[in-house]
């Protein structure tokens, strides 16, 4: 890991595998990393404890958690108790159609907070671990969305007006889950600290059955890396 | 005021003069109006009481208030106690440079929440009372920003992907304060219910000295409309 001698960056960190890898990649590029997580009434609030472990482990400069009241808006299995998290048997892909676990405008909201904080920090870099390979069903994980957000962001802020607009970095966007895991393993990410499950038990152990668990397990298998995930129930 | 037989719209309502006029214009166009306000730790929280009065008075279908923790981000006189609200003596314009009352990425955040809610409501219209005449110093009040936000929004959501993307309406963007007041007066807006002041007293009475108060008072004078504003101290 290189010295934190570079420019400041805001890194969106969920506690999952992808954002942990993204943070490690930003650190490798020498950024001083300001990690940002969101408490949005998700069922997997234990994921925030994972986010804390990940940011400490990977040497973030600081870690802030912002409370978002997405329950007031509703519309997703992840924040709305009336919608069940699917335990589909058919394959690990969540790429067909738009899944029920989609949260309305989530990445737009997350990036907007990152933009606000970057302006206060005078940071010109935002990193987000979106992925267009496995999450092609999520509109806000696609390159076209990220490009449009960046164009908007450069018109939205003092820094943008003054020619110091932000760049949105998406280092994982075209990687497979196995490629992401190999990158993180190269950088020393301890994936045992991360949590990907949509429906963990109260101790933070993964269910092993949801789309996210299945995608993760298949990624470790394809990468040829030992899976450190602790499951509440054997999958 | 026409019947609420038209399409649903999300209207951003602050409790101020501009957003009250925007709500009245959306109602005139026949929209079923879902009003959205934000409690963002602003000094003028009494403005939310004004927002409630305004939405009831103008027949909004519902009014939701979302809590935003902008204090965690800081950087503005409106949310950061360490920065004083200016009481400049020189003119009513806030259009020179970027004023200290600017909140980082505020309209980006507000519009992002409106976008999320519009998706849940299946609403295709968002109204925001931004103005590029008096607030040219705010990057996120300019037409170019609004256009870029709309372009991003149409890539961000299920509805956009399916060809039912939102339109961001800014009916006040090129109007002077006097023109806004004449429009609202034509539509029966009771401006006595609204509050524009950046620094009201605890009873919600305007200070009469801040940029926003001065701009508002000059608008009523220029429009030839009696100013119903109640001041805590005579200006």
Read off the tokens for B57.
């008075």
What radius of gyration do chain B's Cα atoms show? 17
The pLDDT value recorded for residue B133 is 87
Q: How far is CA B88 from the centre of its chain?
A: 22
Q: Which of B64, B113, B148 sits opposite A151 (nearest CB)?
A: B148
Provide the CATH topology of domain A8-223. Answer: Rossmann fold (3.40.50)
Contacts of B161 in chain A (CB under 8 A): 98, 139
Q: Determine, for residues B161 and A155 on separate chains, whether the beta-carbon distance falls below 8 Å.
A: no
Contacts of A40 in chain B (CB under 8 A): none
Contacts of A160 in chain B (CB under 8 A): 139
pLDDT digits (tens, 9 = 90+) for B162-207: 888 999 999 999 999 999 999 999 999 999 999 988 888 888 899 9
Dihedral sign, CA of B167, B171, B173, B174? Answer: positive
Strand order from edge to edge, sheet including A32-39: A62-67, A32-39, A8-12, A125-127, A167-169
Q: Determine, for residues B116 and A66 on separate chains, whether the beta-carbon distance falls below 8 Å.
A: no
Q: Which of B69, B139, B156 sits opposite A157 (nearest CB)?
A: B139
Contacts of A153 in chain B (CB under 8 A): 108
Torsions phi, psi of B28, nearest 5?
-60, -35
The pLDDT value recorded for residue B123 is 95
Q: What is the 3-state secondary structure (H, E, C) of B12-76?
A: ECCCCHHHHHHHHHHHHCCCEEEEEEEECCCCCCHHHHHHHHHHHHCCCCEEEEEECCHHHCCCC
- Best of B138, B148, B153 to disrupt the A interface (most A CBs within 10 Å) is B148
Domain boundaries of chain B, sorted by first residue: 8-223
Q: Which residues contact A147 (CB under 8 A, 6 or more apart)?
A: none
Residue bearing the bigger pLDDT, B1 or B216? B216
With residue A158 as reference, give the H or E element that holds it: helix A158-161
Contacts of A142 in chain B (CB under 8 A): 155
CA angle B162, B166, B167 (to 5 degrees): 140
Q: Determine, for residues B104 and A116 on separate chains, whether the beta-carbon distance falls below 8 Å.
A: yes
- The Cα of B120 is separated from the nearest Cα of chain A by a number of Å equal to 6
Q: For residues B145 and A151, what is the distance between their CA atoms, to the nearest angstrom? A: 9
- The Cα of A123 is separated from the nearest Cα of chain B by a number of Å equal to 13
The pLDDT value recorded for residue B226 is 94
Contacts of B155 in chain A (CB under 8 A): 139-140, 142, 144-145, 148
Positions of chain A with pLDDT under 50: 1-3, 77-78, 80-83, 85-98, 235
pLDDT digits (tens, 9 = 90+) for B18-44: 999 999 999 999 999 999 998 876 556
pTM: 0.87
Q: Using an 8 Å Cβ cutoff, are B51 and B60 in contact?
A: no
- The Cα of B92 is separated from the nearest Cα of chain A by a number of Å equal to 21
The pLDDT value recorded for residue B77 is 47
pLDDT digits (tens, 9 = 90+) for B60-116: 999 998 888 776 776 554 454 444 544 433 322 333 444 555 568 889 999 999 999
Q: Using an 8 Å Cβ cutoff, are A195 and A210 in contact?
A: no
Residue of A nearest to B75 (CA): A120
């Amino acid at each position: 890991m290189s010295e934190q001698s570079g420019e400041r960056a805001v890194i969106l960190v969920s506690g999952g595998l992808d954002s942990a890898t993204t943070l490690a990649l930003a650190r490798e590029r020498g950024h001083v990393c300001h990690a940002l997580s969101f408490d949005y009434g998700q069922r997997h609030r234990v994921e925030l404890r994972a986010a804390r472990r990940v940011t400490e482990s990977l040497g973030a400069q600081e870690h802030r958690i912002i409370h978002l009241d997405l329950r007031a808006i509703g519309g997703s299995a992840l924040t709305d108790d009336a919608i069940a998290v699917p335990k589909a048997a058919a394959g690990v892909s969540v790429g067909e159609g738009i899944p029920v676990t989609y949260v309305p405008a989530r990445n737009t909201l997350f990036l907007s907070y990152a933009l606000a904080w970057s302006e206060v920090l005078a940071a010109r870099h935002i990193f987000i671990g979106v992925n267009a390979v496995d999450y092609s069903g999520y509109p806000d994980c696609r390159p076209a969305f990220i490009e449009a957000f960046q164009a908007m962001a450069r018109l939205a802020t003092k820094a943008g007006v003054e020619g110091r607009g932000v760049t949105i970095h998406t280092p994982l966007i075209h990687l497979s889950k196995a490629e992401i895991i190999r990158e993180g393993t190269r950088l020393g990410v301890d994936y045992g600290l991360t949590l990907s499950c949509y429906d963990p038990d109260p101790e933070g152990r993964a269910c092993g059955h949801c789309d996210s668990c299945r995608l993760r397990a298949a990624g470790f298998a394809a990468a040829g890396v030992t899976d450190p995930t602790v499951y509440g129930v054997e999958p």
